[in-house]
Copies of this chain bind each other. A is one copy, B any other.
């Protein structure tokens, strides 16, 4: 009988507490599956005095994350404190240098310092597992790292932030504004008091950077990700999308192009018939386009204490079973530098909503500007406000929405054309532009 794996947990918030409970409840199953027992022997957290429902009988309290990482009684250091820097970084590094394995749910840290930590893990022989960092219980890291070990990946994209998807779902289904839905999300605990990290796309960008590294064998590089959030999306965009057969989702997309790896986070129109379009509310989903095979989509809870704990415990079980995968799928020395494809050269279809002055020739002027940039239009819809007939509107020259869907073109061309349209003074306000992602 192999000795049990001795686990130390730093951080006893919702996830940490759920991990302690799950390891206790599933003790028999875990030992059957891993071939050895798994025991939490020590923990640490910010406040020892804090009231917890969790029983810590038989578990030692250690004074700091670093002390826990250096504690010779543990084999596996589980970091559930969060934060892209200290004290998590030094503690994880110390644990790895001691030859221990590390399990973490910390996407910010892995996106920022993942390479340095992976190098330490490789050098000293421990595992560095972070399944919970992306998509919680959805086994997307394992799928990219092991399940598609022999298959090249052309594109990986997904809904990686439940807050944004919740807001977009409510906006679409109830015709509400972004601000109203954000307030509801905050009330329900789906969004933070400071929602910027989620709604401006940074959370998605960190997760995408990790997935891109695993998918393409490149160095994780959050700075290579182009980021746009969802705050500018209006109910009329969702309505127009619906009529055109699309839904709007905040996607993280990493794709191999002739110009390099494109990594981008932005509101995206996806065909209603695609798997990703069906994903509603706080649910997350990731689609992987492997070379020569149809897409694989993984759907499930992307956050929450129990779902995150499920992934953390699976990672611990892998450590117990003696699995030592390369953290990013390959040795750090074999990871290539990310050749960042410039966003200006992105190619795809675009949705454009303009508030055009309702005067004769306006649409013609707009179309001319687009034609000059060789942008072909799939559809043009000019909407007159309901209940007002064209002549009245024309008289008042009040702006009416014009919605354009383009065939594939470049980001550059779109920018130049829209700048020209603005110079023509035939529209009011800024154009709304949403990229289209086909499956």
A interface residues, Cβ below 8 angstroms from B: 22-23, 26, 29-30, 32-35, 131, 137-139, 142-143, 145-152, 217, 275, 278, 283, 290, 292-301, 304, 306-307, 310-311, 313-314, 316-318, 321, 323, 325-326, 329-331, 334
Are B29 and A150 closer than 8 Å at their CB atoms? Answer: yes
Roughly how many angstroms separate A217 CA and B29 CA in the complex, as a whole number?
9
Are A330 and B26 closer than 8 Å at their CB atoms? Answer: no
Identify which of B217, B275, B293, B325 contacts A32 (C-beta below 8 A).
B217
Residues in B with CB closer than 8 Å to A150 are 22-23, 26, 29-30, 310, 313-314, 316-317
Are B142 and A29 closer than 8 Å at their CB atoms? Answer: no
Are B299 and A293 closer than 8 Å at their CB atoms? Answer: no
Identify which of B151, B278, B317 contacts A313 (C-beta below 8 A).
B151
Are A294 and B317 closer than 8 Å at their CB atoms? Answer: no
If A26-B152, A150-B313, A317-B150 touch, whether A293 touches B297 (CB-CB below 8 Å) is no
Closest to A138 in B: B296
The oligomer's copy count stands at 2
Roughly how many angstroms separate A107 CA and B368 CA in the complex, as a whole number?
60
> 8 more A-B contacts (CB under 8 A) besides A30-B150, A294-B301, A321-B325?
A23-B150, A32-B330, A35-B331, A149-B318, A150-B316, A150-B317, A275-B278, A297-B298
Residues in B with CB closer than 8 Å to A318 are 146, 149
Roughly how many angstroms separate A139 CA and B144 CA in the complex, as a whole number?
10
Roughly how many angstroms separate A26 CA and B283 CA in the complex, as a whole number?
34
Residues in B with CB closer than 8 Å to A23 are 150
Residues in B with CB closer than 8 Å to A139 are 139, 142-143, 146-148, 296
Closest to A147 in B: B139
Residues in B with CB closer than 8 Å to A304 are 293-294
Closest approach, in angstroms, between the C-beta of A15 and any C-beta of chain B?
Answer: 12
Roughly how many angstroms separate A26 CA and B30 CA in the complex, as a whole number?
34
Closest to A296 in B: B300
List 13 A-B residue pairs with CB atoms under 8 Å apart, sorted by A's residue number.
Answer: A29-B330, A30-B149, A33-B326, A33-B329, A35-B331, A137-B148, A139-B143, A139-B146, A150-B317, A296-B298, A296-B299, A296-B301, A297-B297
Are A149 and B313 closer than 8 Å at their CB atoms? Answer: yes
Which 10 pairs, one residue from A and one from B, show the smallest C-beta to C-beta distance? Answer: A150-B313, A139-B147, A296-B300, A149-B317, A32-B330, A294-B301, A297-B299, A151-B310, A292-B306, A293-B307
Residues in B with CB closer than 8 Å to A147 are 131, 137, 139, 142, 311, 314
Are B149 and A33 closer than 8 Å at their CB atoms? Answer: yes
Closest approach, in angstroms, between the C-beta of A105 and any C-beta of chain B?
Answer: 14
Closest approach, in angstroms, between the C-beta of A82 and any C-beta of chain B?
Answer: 20
Are B310 and A294 closer than 8 Å at their CB atoms? Answer: no
Identify which of B34, B151, B290, B334 contacts A149 (C-beta below 8 A).
B34
Residues in B with CB closer than 8 Å to A29 are 149-150, 152, 217, 330
